[in-house]
Amino acid sequence: MARKFFVGGNWKCNGTTEEVRKIVTTLNEAEVPSHDVVEVVVSPPFVFLTLVKSLLRSDFHVAAQNCWVRKGGAFTGEISAEMLVNLGIPWVIIGHSERRALLNESNEFVGDKVAYALSQGLKVIACIGETLEQRESGSTMAVVAAQTKAIADKVTNWDNVVLAYEPVWAIGTGKVATPAQAQEVHFELRKWLNENVGADIAASTRIIYGGSVNGANCQELAGQPDVDGFLVGGASLKPEFVDIIKSAT
Ligand code: G3H
């Protein structure tokens, strides 16, 4: 099955109302390949989700950057999957390495979150990736396989899952994975899915790369056979995000 190129913009904890409006204006005025060719999803902070959704062109969609692991209730400061659905937010990012590292989100917790978000009808960008120490000790595949297994243990239908491989050492560092490094891990991840989840799911699930992607390095990364798109942080706040979207062709 052909995998449509996917470009996500993770705005993280950035932006004022004015800045958000400016980014959206840039995106709305951009000439990019059609929705048949590339799926574009931007992820503003929670407080700007409805504003961005209301202003953003209709061929682009929005994602939340997180949601609670189960039904809402007495969980101060959390946002439930049901609330996102209620607001018409179609996507959510789950398991970003910043949350895994800073907020101690375990593989199992991330797996539970992915499953719950899917059960409520959200589409999920599920993030995995190794630290520099893990890469240097040769455990990259063991780490990302364990992270993926924790998701696979809880999820049966992968139709609404995009897997984002984001090596922690490449995030926000300007030290992008080489195309060969990205392709190697994406290939191994697809092989893991094939052997542990199913051939159809391995063939159809989009595996996107994140970590210092920019307008200059996106083309070569996009040319790798198992790189199905990007999750972009810093560059998604800049006009060059449009160039990254264009790397789909
Ligand atoms: O979610 C996006 C990643 O954390 C990548 O961030 O492009 O700023 O390295 P970055």
Mutate to test the pocket of ligand 1, among 7, 125, 231, 244 (most ligand atoms within 8 A of CB): 231
Per-residue pLDDT at 2? 86
Mean pLDDT for the stretch of residues 3-13: 98
| Interatomic CA distance for residues 150 and 215, integer angstroms | 33
pLDDT band at 1 (very low <50, low <70, confident <90, very high): low
Q: Look at phi and psi of residue 97 and say left if phi exceeds 0, alpha if psi is from -120 to 50, else beta.
A: alpha
- Find the mean pLDDT for residues 88-108: 98
pTM of the model: 0.98
Residue located nearest, by CA, to atom 6 of ligand 1:
233
C-alpha angle 134-138-139 in degrees, rounded to nearest 5: 55
CA 92 – CA 149 distance, rounded (Å)? 19
ipTM: 0.99
Can you give the pLDDT at residue 22?
98
- Contact present, 11 and 45 (Cβ < 8 Å): yes
Give CA–CA dist 171/247, Å, rounded. Answer: 20
What is the pLDDT at residue 249? 86
